[in-house]
Amino acid sequence: DIQMTQSPSSVSASVGDRVTITCRASQGISNWLAWYQQKPGKAPNLLIYTASSLQSGVPSRFSGSGSGTDFTLTISSLQPEDFATYYCQQTNFFPFTFGPGTKVDIK
């Protein structure tokens, strides 16, 4: 199975900050990577697919990049509603493994 890692596991940031989260796959997955946001007690929400495509309705302050094994999710200017946990997921090989998550909280 492909192992997904994320760093950092948590980050404290302020409104307006630029936040970058890294996701790494244990082997190459081309650009078959998605990012999800999850708030406490809620289902995840798709933000980015195929590494860099913005899902409809998602604010443009979210962006993704990368291919192969290394990927990043960037929030250009953190907003109050962005405090949440973020997960990457590879969809190149079954099982479609998720990363362990990165919690973004208020500094």
Residues that bind other proteins (CB under 8 A): 1, 32, 34, 36, 38, 43-46, 49-50, 53, 55, 87, 89, 91, 94-101
CB of 12 to other proteins, least distance (A): 19
CB of 42 to other proteins, least distance (A): 8
Q: Which is nearer to other proteins, 59 or 77 (CB)?
A: 59
CB of 46 to other proteins, least distance (A): 5
Rounded-to-10 torsion of CA 30, 28, 37, 105: -130
Comparing C-alpha atoms, which of 35, 23, 2 is closest to residue 70?
A: 23
Q: What share of the chain is helix, strand, coil (3-state, %, to 5)?
A: 5, 50, 50
Which SS3 state, helix, strand or coil, does residue 12 take? strand
Q: Which is nearer to other proteins, 44 or 72 (CB)?
A: 44
In this structure, which amino acid lies at residue 66? G
Q: Which is nearer to other proteins, 53 or 79 (CB)?
A: 53
Longest dimension (CA), the chain: 38
Q: Which is nearer to other proteins, 17 or 85 (CB)?
A: 85
